[in-house]
Structure 1
Amino acid sequence: MKVLCVLYDDPSVPFSAVRDDLPSLPGYPGGQTLPTPSSVDFTPGHLLGSVSGELGLRRFLEAGGHTLVVTSSKDGADSVFDRELADADVVISQPFWPAYLTAGRFARAPRLKLALTAGIGSDHVDLDAAIAHGVTVAEVTYCNSISVAEHVVMSILNLVRNFVPAHQIVRDGGWNIADAVSRSYDVEGMHVGTVAAGRIGLAVLRRLAPFDVHLHYTDRHRLPAAVEEELGLTFHTSAAEMVPVCDVVTVNAPLHPETEGLFDDALISSMKRGAYLVNTARARIVDRDAVVRGLESGQLAGYAGDVWYPQPAPADHPWRTMPHHAMTPHISGSSLSAQARYAAGTREILESFFAGTPIREEYLIVDGGKLAGTGAHSYAVKS
């Protein structure tokens, strides 16, 4: 079979591992096991998510008689991705450098059987088209959920404590303390809410609890009463109900028709003046220009996250220059620690696919012509 893998570009300087090893994890919170491929052909902690890293798959695939094509060229009719797609059996992509599998691309890929996300979040795949074409969609659930949760907490602290401008003062040779602290507050005592409390959202709540904040959440699926009591959570039936009481709102929901464009001018205007918004989920859950307007007017005190649309973001994207932001390129789920897990999970899914054995239920998004596994729990489709 032909496997077409789209990964981000290699670093501008040769990779050299900073650390000699990675911590050993017993499993994921809640009991899900780490990926369990038969073996791996990479060193954990090495750069696997870029083109030269190849997710550590080449030796395994070629030993099985398969063809591997790896590229970062994914956009435009003359992209390597489009040229190679016509006879591809498997497409592998990452949320950080997504190869958008549109309905048109599905129509030009008659042999495609599996769309695999090396990471979490398959919204770059048109799920309705995947269902119509009988293509299985899978992702490596939980592989980088904690990585993203850590990034969320970091972003909240960065914004509330005004870290980025204060750091820039030092880099510029200055020492104006008044400038540094004029927008700096304590998180302690604030009301913090998450839109969605799945694997990432709940991990964020658990990590914020020791900061002595008031925690809120909204989700399609209410958490068990014991968890609400343990963390002191207040449940809200909708984002519209929750955000007016929060000083900080973090978005940890998948992108689907129910969440697309959720944070528009109306919802942002209902937030507390000077609230902070953190979005490491998907860019299209917020209205791009409404965020800019909110920051410029002072309705929002800060915006952080690392998800953009499209990805990579163009040089003139307004989020690059809007005031009071702490944006990064899409890196929250692609730490070297996470790469080892999502590379191993990608191989596990491929091993099951090639052997004709069931792919783990929690890895499935679409299977058998319908939403399945995690997809049935987390996603909605238009049809």
Structure 2
Amino acid sequence: MAKVLCVLYDDPVDGYPTSYARDSLPPIERYPNGQTTPTPSGIDFTPGHLLGSVSGELGLRRFLEERGHTLVVTSDKDGDGSEFDRELVDADVVISQPFWPAYLTAERIAKAEKLKLAITAGIGSDHVDLDAAIEHGVTVAEVTYCNSISVAEHVVMMTLSLVRNYLPSYRTVLDGGWNIADCVARSYDLEAMHVGTVAAGRIGLAVLRRLAPFDVALHYTDRHRLPEHVEDELQLTFHESAADMVPHCDVVTINAPLHPETEGLFDDELIGRMRRGAYLINTARAKICDRDAIGRALRDGRLAGYAGDVWFPQPAPADHPWRTVPHHGMTPHISGSSLSAQARYAAGTREILESWLGGTPIRDEYLIVDQGGLAGTGAHSYSTASGGR
């Protein structure tokens, strides 16, 4: 029997919900590329309920315990003596969300002698040391595409919020004010601006498709060039690198995974190549940007605004400088954890567990590391410290 250790974020401060704003979710059976949504044998939760917090348990307890397995759920994941560290030593499976990541470092993996499977309930497995997972024979899987559209919608929202100066204007209302000049002094139209994405995979392409109706000029860079018919359809301009692209853009959105090639990409030098007054949106991973370079660029006016929902570490400490830099639109890491997305990634997590516990292959599109190397989606999207893809 397996021990499954699941790390989830804390319940709401007022307690686990007893009712919800909506009664149901619109059904979605396929993603835009034709991939089916998760197909477990069944679910033991109500779609639209809060599943990603501790009490939600990703809807897994009944499924696992009826089959004789052990489920441990905690939010305590950091610091010496955390419950995560105490329980990890004999865990067979670890489940974690990108929004509240249990950092599976090389040191932790080395101590977890029974660990065979690390599941990301969501997308983005950079909180797992992939080189160490490969070395120790740990399979890494994530629920590919489950919240890609959720994140893309968040990118569009943040882009408009920055360009239109929405958040300070909303604050004016909360504070009882009505000074229109203050609100519009930093407000512009998105129309006719040049918008570029770093990476045009599932999220990046969805962002481009959603922004096209705003009559903007669209740019992208990616190590995998899009098909010609997609470039023609969206009138995309391709650039060989981020350094080539950013001088042409008024808005840049980062939609790339974190790996050795992207870590620290947006440093003083690259930001210095951007147009003065450009906006930068990062819902990918915080470490793709140099934390202090972002602050400098916002203070000196190189960037007109920075928004995103990814921080390092997560949760971000109270004194994290991005909380107080000027002209930011930061949120906690929520873009991919809407109640709609939770229903998909909870179902996908169960599907992965059903496959692994039943000895059947995990969907290739869910695999990041398997059989001692990058696999499936991982082979397409990630690279390792040794340079492997």
User: What is the TM-score with the length of structure 2 in the denominator?
Assistant: 0.98
Partner of 1:354 in structure 2?
Answer: 357
Partner of 1:242 in structure 2?
Answer: 245
Counterpart among 155, 163, 167 of residue 166 in structure 2:
163
Shift in Å, 1:232: 0.4
Code of the aligned partner of 1:357: T
Code of the aligned partner of 1:375: G
Partner of 1:21 in structure 2?
Answer: 24
CA distance in 1, matches of 2:77, 2:28: 34
Shift in Å, 1:25: 1.2
Shift in Å, 1:190: 0.1
Partner of 2:330 in structure 1?
Answer: 327
Code of the aligned partner of 1:364: L
- Residues 353-362 or 19-28, more deviating: 19-28
Partner of 1:213 in structure 2?
Answer: 216
Partner of 2:51 in structure 1?
Answer: 48
Shift in Å, 1:77: 2.1
Q: 1:92 is paired with a residue of what secondary structure?
A: strand
Code of the aligned partner of 1:50: S
Partner of 1:4 in structure 2?
Answer: 5
Partner of 1:282 in structure 2?
Answer: 285
Shift in Å, 1:114: 0.0
Shift in Å, 1:9: 0.2
CA distance in 1, matches of 2:81, 2:277: 45
Counterpart among 264, 273, 280 of residue 270 in structure 1:
273
Q: 2:306 is paired with a residue of what secondary structure?
A: strand
Q: 1:273 is paired with a residue of what secondary structure?
A: coil
For these two proteins, the number of residue pairs brought into alignment is 383
CA distance in 2, matches of 1:30, 1:75: 37
User: What is the TM-score with the length of structure 1 in the denominator?
Assistant: 1.00
Q: Deviations over 1:325-383 (max 9, x none)?
A: 00000000000000000000000000000000000000000000000000000000012
Q: 2:172 is paired with a residue of what secondary structure?
A: helix
Shift in Å, 1:13: 1.6
Counterpart among 194, 197, 207 of residue 197 in structure 2:
194
CA distance in 2, matches of 1:288, 1:35: 36
Task: Spell out the pairing of 1:365-380 with structure 2 (5 A cutoff).
Answer: 365-380=368-383
Runs (5+) with no aligned partner, structure 2? none
Counterpart among 70, 81, 86 of residue 83 in structure 1:
86
Partner of 1:31 in structure 2?
Answer: 34
Does residue 105 in structure 1 map to residue 120 in structure 2?
Answer: no
CA distance in 1, matches of 2:179, 2:383: 50
Shift in Å, 1:30: 1.0
Code of the aligned partner of 1:273: R
Q: 1:97 is paired with a residue of what secondary structure?
A: coil
Counterpart among 70, 73, 96 of residue 73 in structure 2:
70
Partner of 2:118 in structure 1?
Answer: 115
CA distance in 2, matches of 1:242, 1:107: 41
Shift in Å, 1:75: 0.4
CA distance in 1, matches of 2:74, 2:89: 15
Partner of 2:254 in structure 1?
Answer: 251
Q: Deviations over 1:29-53 (max 9, x none)?
A: 0100000000000000000000000
Task: Spell out the pairing of 1:214-229 with structure 2 (5 A cutoff).
Answer: 214-229=217-232
CA distance in 2, matches of 1:282, 1:343: 22
CA distance in 1, matches of 2:149, 2:207: 8
Structure 1 consecutive aligned stretches of length 4 or more whose deviation exceeds 2 Å: none
Q: Deviations over 1:239-275 (max 9, x none)?
A: 0000001000000000000000000000001100000
Shift in Å, 1:28: 0.3
Q: 1:30 is paired with a residue of what secondary structure?
A: coil
Runs (5+) with no aligned partner, structure 1? none
Partner of 2:342 in structure 1?
Answer: 339
Code of the aligned partner of 2:172: I
Code of the aligned partner of 2:148: S
Shift in Å, 1:158: 0.1
CA distance in 2, matches of 1:236, 1:143: 28
Q: 1:278 is paired with a residue of what secondary structure?
A: strand
CA distance in 2, matches of 1:279, 1:310: 15
Q: 1:327 is paired with a residue of what secondary structure?
A: coil
Partner of 1:363 in structure 2?
Answer: 366
CA RMSD of aligned residues (A): 0.4
Shift in Å, 1:26: 3.0
CA distance in 2, matches of 1:382, 1:12: 40
Q: 1:204 is paired with a residue of what secondary structure?
A: helix
Counterpart among 85, 90, 93 of residue 96 in structure 2:
93
Q: Deviations over 1:48-82 (max 9, x none)?
A: 00000000000000011000000000001200000
Code of the aligned partner of 1:10: D
Code of the aligned partner of 2:347: A
CA distance in 2, matches of 1:359, 1:224: 28
CA distance in 2, matches of 1:358, 1:117: 17
